[in-house]
Amino acid sequence: MIPDISKMRKDFPILDQKVNGKPLIYFDNAATSQRPIQVIERVDEFSLRTNANIHRATHYLANKTTEAFEASRETVRQFINAGEASEVIFTQGTTESINLVAFSFGEAFVSAGDEVIVTEMEHHANIVPWQMMCERRSAILKVLPFNDNGELQIELLDSLITNKTRILAVAHVSNTLGTINPIREIILKAHLKNVPVLIDGAQAAAHFKIDVQELGCDFYAFSGHKIYGPTGIGALYGKRKWLDQMPPFMGGGEMIDRVTFAKTTYNQLPYKFEAGTPNYVGAIGFAAAIQYIQTQDNQALHAYEHDLLTVATEKLQQIEGLKIYGEATSKAAVICFNIVGIHPFDLGTLLDQMGIAVRTGRLCADPVMDHYGVENMVRASFAFYNTFEEINAFYKALIRLKAMF
């Protein structure tokens, strides 16, 4: 079934506006996606009629909110096919999820001289928490490099993993190169040597099917706002066997069993890792976003996004002096590029004048910039509500702007 994109676009009211007098062309989906009216209405309806704190009181509103919150957890569980709802922790987002694992797993399992592996293409959120943990635990951070094509050098992985390796963290999809990493293969290799794997799924969850049991990953993190849901909410999946052994990350209400000044004991999963009043409004919006996606023909949407990528890549490759970073055979709809002689900031500013929203800068991926020896890049990233007409307009804009320099 070919998706009716123009009909689906109408679900996203924000897309129907003019920026600097031109129709908005929103190509910054890797930074954040837009929300369909169904999600906005669900959140509003909830705030209008049902709001109360969860898991605490026994009154009507509290019960309804608690039910909605736990139902949202179940929705996320189903979405990623986690074995049980207790293995789904609500967090503020991917960054917090990774910080949680880095800290708690580090406390439980990492000692002086141990090793942690990340890759050269990671977003800072999947580098810095590990660096911080390694410093705290006197451990060593090792890096799996990628080649100029934007592909991880998997052939180096076996020798990189030693008997000191405690955990490996890798992105499902790169936010700069667009590369879809062969995480199944990576997880298998790591597991052969008893090394657990954390997957940063921030760029993947909206665009590809996630089945954590099939993948076999030990942790999977993703964010609500990149999957057509609200900001301030995300999920961390972790295998019970790890989460049960990991100490809490943040302390406070909800995550406790009993508090005395002599000793405090902790709650069971998932609450052990959900201190304080959670963003339950966000969780409900998150679930609404997942439900919105699940009512669509996802295979068709994924194929469509791939077509957008193909067409955009072909057009950009026709522009003289334009270099695309990351040309892996398996790519998500993310294109980072530069045009010789034009600074990304200048290009982004002028594209904005034409209503086109792209991202410029270092994209929270300093090592990727260093790999290619550049200071900044331009990034266009697509979602299913983008169109071929928009890509055409983008191409024409680039040609026109190029002439200004």
- Give catalytic residues, as residue numbers: 364
Nearest distance from C-beta of residue 349 to other proteins, angstroms: 6
The one-character DSSP state at 376 is -
CA 328 to each of CA 136, 182, 324, 363: distance values in angstroms, whole numbers, following the listed order: 36, 11, 11, 19
C-beta atoms surrounding 216 within 10 Å: 15
Question: Nearer to other proteins by C-beta: 20 or 277?
Answer: 20
Residue with Cβ nearer other proteins (70 or 346): 346
Nearest-angstrom CA–CA distance, 11 and 33: 13
Closer CB to other proteins, 167 or 401, in the complex: 401
Could you give the CA distance from residue 239 to residue 282 in angstroms, rounded to a whole number? 24
Cβ pair 294, 116 in contact under 8 A: no
Smallest gap, in angstroms, from Cβ of residue 170 to other proteins?
A: 24
| Rounded Cα–Cα distance for residues 200 and 100 (Å) | 13
d(CA 145, CA 280): 39
Interacting residues with other proteins (CB under 8 A) = 20, 343-346, 348-350, 353, 360-362, 375-376, 404-405
**Strands in 218-281 per DSSP E:** 219-223, 234-238, 256-259, 264-266
Give 334's strand partners: 381
Q: Phi first, then psi: what are they for 143, rounded to 5°?
A: -125, 125
> Which lies closer to other proteins via its Cβ, residue 65 or residue 381?
381
Type and span of the H or E element at 197: strand 197-200
CB 62 within 8 A of CB 53: yes
* Contact (CB, 8 A) for 331 and 309: yes
Q: Read off the amino acid at residue 151.
A: E
Contact 38, 228 (CB under 8 A): no
> What does the block give as tokens for 182?
């062969």
Count the neighbouring beta carbons within 10 Å of the beta carbon of residue 239.
18
Compute the least distance from the CB of residue 124 to other proteins, in Å.
Answer: 11
Distance (Å, rounded) from C-alpha 374 to C-alpha 16? Answer: 35
**Shortest CB 340 distance to other proteins, Å:** 14
**Contact between 125 and 364 (Cβ < 8 Å):** yes
